[in-house]
Amino acid sequence: MVTEDILQAIHIAKQYAKDNFNQKYAPAHLLKALLNPQFNFMRELDAKGIDVFYLDEWADIRISEYPKSSKPSDDPAPDSGMNAVLTEAEDIAKKTGDETSFVPILKALVTPGVGFSHDQLKSLPLTPADLSSMFDSGTATPQNNSEKTKIAPTGSSTLDKYCTDKIKHLKSKQSIPMIGRDEELKTITEILNRKLKPHVIVIGESGVGKSTLIEGFCHKIGDKSILAAFNNASVFEINIGPLFAGASYKGEVEDRLQKIFNEVKGYEKPILFIDDIHELFDSNQGNGIGSIIKSELSKGYITFIGATTTEKFRKSLGKDDALSRRFETLEIHEPNQELALRMIKNVISHYQTHHDFSIDEEGLKESIRLSKRYLKEKSLPDSALDLIDRTMSSLKVAKETIKKELPELKKQLSAINDSIEEIEKEEKMLWLHSDIQNKTGKLFSEDEDNFSSVASDKKIAHLESLLESLERLNEEENIVSPSHLSHVVSGITGIPAGKVKSDERERLLDIENTLKKRVIGQDHAVKVVSDAILESRSGLTKPGQPIGSFFFLGPTGTGKTELAKSLADFLFGDENAIIRLDMSEFKEEHSAALLYGAPPGYVGYEEGGLLVNKIRQKPYSIVLFDEIEKAHKSVFDVFLQILDEGKLHDRLGKEGDFSNSVILFTSNIGSDFIVKSFEKDIIPKSNDLIQLMTGYFRPEFLGRLTEIIPFAPISRKSVSRIFDIHLKKELLQLLEKLDITLHIDEKDKEQIALMGFTPEYGARPIKGTIRNQLKRPLSRMIISNEIKKGDSLKVTLNEEGAIKFTIEHERPILQDSN
Longest CA–CA span in the chain (Å) reads 126
Residue 540 has pLDDT above 80, yes or no: no
Question: How far is residue 609's CA from residue 606's CA, in Å, rounded to a whole number?
Answer: 9
Q: Looking at the structure, do residues 645 and 505 belong to the same domain, yes or no?
A: yes
Q: Looking at the structure, do residues 453 and 534 belong to the same domain, yes or no?
A: no
49: left (phi over 0), alpha (psi -120 to 50) or beta: left
Are 318 and 282 contacting, i.e. CB atoms less than 8 angstroms apart?
no
Q: What is the pLDDT of residues 608-639, one digit of tens each?
A: 788 988 998 888 899 999 999 999 988 999 99
Task: Output the pTM of the full model.
Answer: 0.61
Does some domain include residue 151?
no
Q: The domain spanning residue 79 has which CATH number?
A: 1.10.1780.10
**Which CA distances in Å does 441 have to 34, 358, 411?**
68, 19, 21
Residue 150 has pLDDT above 50, yes or no: no
Q: What is the pLDDT of residues 335-363, one digit of tens each?
A: 999 999 999 999 999 999 999 999 999 99
Range of the domain at 598: 501-710
State which of 654, 685, 710 marks the end of a domain.
Answer: 710
Q: Which helix (H) or strand (E) holds 497?
A: helix 497-500
What per-residue confidence (pLDDT) applies to 446?
53
Band of pLDDT at residue 448, cut at 50, 70 and 90: low
Band of pLDDT at residue 800, cut at 50, 70 and 90: confident
Query: Average pLDDT in the 200-219 region?
Result: 92
Query: Average pLDDT in the 488-511 region?
Result: 75
Residue 575, C-beta contacts closer than 8 angstroms, at least 6 positions apart: 565, 566, 568, 569
Question: How far is residue 382's CA from residue 72's CA, in Å, rounded to a whole number?
Answer: 58
Q: What is the pLDDT of residues 316-337, one digit of tens each?
A: 787 778 788 889 999 999 899 9
Burial 183-198 (b: 16+ CB within 10 A, else e): ebbebbbebbeeeebb
Q: What is the pLDDT of residues 248-298, one digit of tens each?
A: 777 788 888 988 998 898 888 999 999 999 988 765 555 678 888 888 888
Q: Looking at the structure, do residues 348 and 472 belong to the same domain, yes or no?
A: yes
What per-residue confidence (pLDDT) applies to 775?
92
**Which CA distances in Å does 363 have to 185, 358, 382, 442, 553?**
30, 10, 16, 19, 44
Q: What is the pLDDT of residues 747-781, one digit of tens each?
A: 888 889 888 788 778 888 888 899 999 999 999 99
Query: Average pLDDT in the 473-492 region?
Result: 85
Work out the percent of the chain whose per-residue pLDDT is above 90: 34
Band of pLDDT at residue 140, cut at 50, 70 and 90: very low
The amino acid occupying position 112 is: P
Name the DSSP letter for residue 72: -
Question: Long-range CB contacts (< 8 A, 24+ apart) of 569-575?
Answer: 569/518, 570/511, 570/514, 570/515, 571/499, 571/533, 571/547, 571/620, 571/622, 571/662, 572/494, 572/495, 572/499, 572/620, 572/621, 572/622, 573/494, 573/495, 573/496, 573/499, 574/494, 574/495
Band of pLDDT at residue 527, cut at 50, 70 and 90: very high
Q: The domain spanning residue 405 has which CATH number?
A: 3.40.50
Where helices occur in 265-360 by DSSP H, the ranges are 278-282, 286-299, 310-315, 321-324, 337-355
Name the DSSP letter for residue 519: S
State which of 333, 356, 380 marks the end of a domain.
Answer: 333
Are 178 and 212 contacting, i.e. CB atoms less than 8 angstroms apart?
yes
Does some domain include residue 148?
no
Q: Looking at the structure, do residues 581 and 705 belong to the same domain, yes or no?
A: yes
List the single range of 71-75, 439-443, 700-704 with lowest mean pLDDT.
439-443
Q: Looking at the structure, do residues 235 and 346 belong to the same domain, yes or no?
A: no
Burial 744-760 (b: 16+ CB within 10 A, else e): beeebbeebbebbbeee
Choose among 223, 235, 215: nearest CA to 347.
215
Task: Transcribe 235-261 into DSSP letters.
Answer: EEEE-HHHHHTT--STTHHHHHHHHHH
Question: How far is residue 587's CA from residue 522's CA, in Å, rounded to a whole number?
Answer: 31
Q: The domain spanning residue 773 has which CATH number?
A: 1.10.8.60
Q: What is the pLDDT of residues 419-428, one digit of tens each?
A: 666 667 777 8
Question: How far is residue 139's CA from residue 473's CA, in Å, rounded to a whole number?
Answer: 76
Name the DSSP letter for residue 116: B
Q: Looking at the structure, do residues 593 and 704 belong to the same domain, yes or no?
A: yes
Residue 144 has pLDDT above 60, yes or no: no
More confident residue, 327 or 498: 327
Choose among 55, 127, 113, 63: nearest CA to 84.
113
Residue 148 has pLDDT above 50, yes or no: no
Band of pLDDT at residue 601, cut at 50, 70 and 90: low
What per-residue confidence (pLDDT) applies to 816?
42
Q: Which helix (H) or strand (E) holds 664?
A: strand 662-667
> How many domains is the chain built from?
5
Does some domain include residue 418?
yes
Q: Looking at the structure, do residues 765 and 617 belong to the same domain, yes or no?
A: no
The residue length of the chain stands at: 818
Question: How far is residue 31's CA from residue 115's CA, in Å, rounded to a whole number?
Answer: 10
Q: Looking at the structure, do residues 45 and 104 belong to the same domain, yes or no?
A: yes
Q: Looking at the structure, do residues 697 and 734 belong to the same domain, yes or no?
A: no
What per-residue confidence (pLDDT) applies to 64?
86
Does some domain include residue 552?
yes
Residue 443 has pLDDT above 50, yes or no: yes
Q: Looking at the structure, do residues 662 and 686 belong to the same domain, yes or no?
A: yes
State which of 645, 679, 710 marks the end of a domain.
Answer: 710
Question: How far is residue 518's CA from residue 557's CA, in Å, rounded to a whole number?
Answer: 14
Does some domain include residue 758?
yes
More confident residue, 592 or 711: 711
Q: Looking at the structure, do residues 350 and 329 belong to the same domain, yes or no?
A: no
Q: The domain spanning residue 697 has which CATH number?
A: 3.40.50.300
Burial-class residue 543 by CB neighbours within 10 Å (0-12, 13-18, 19+). Answer: exposed
Q: What is the dihedral of CA 183, 188, 190, 195, to 10 degrees?
A: 170
Work out the percent of the chain whose per-residue pLDDT is above 70: 90
Report how many helices (DSSP H) and strands (DSSP E) the chain contains, helices first: 40, 20
Band of pLDDT at residue 142, cut at 50, 70 and 90: very low
- Identify each DSSP E strand in 731-802 by its residue range: 741-744, 791-797
What per-residue confidence (pLDDT) applies to 818?
38
Average pLDDT value over all residues in the chain: 85
What per-residue confidence (pLDDT) applies to 450?
66
Query: Average pLDDT in the 384-400 region?
Result: 91
Range among 49-63, 128-142, 772-786 rated most confident: 772-786
Does some domain include residue 103?
yes
Does some domain include residue 135?
no
Residue 812 has pLDDT above 70, yes or no: no
Does some domain include residue 626?
yes
Q: Which helix (H) or strand (E) holds 400?
A: helix 382-417
Q: Looking at the structure, do residues 517 and 660 belong to the same domain, yes or no?
A: yes
Residue 232, C-beta contacts closer than 8 angstroms, at least 6 positions apart: 268, 269
Residue 603 has pLDDT above 80, yes or no: no
Q: Residue 463, CB half-sphere, CA atoms under 13 Å: how many?
A: 30
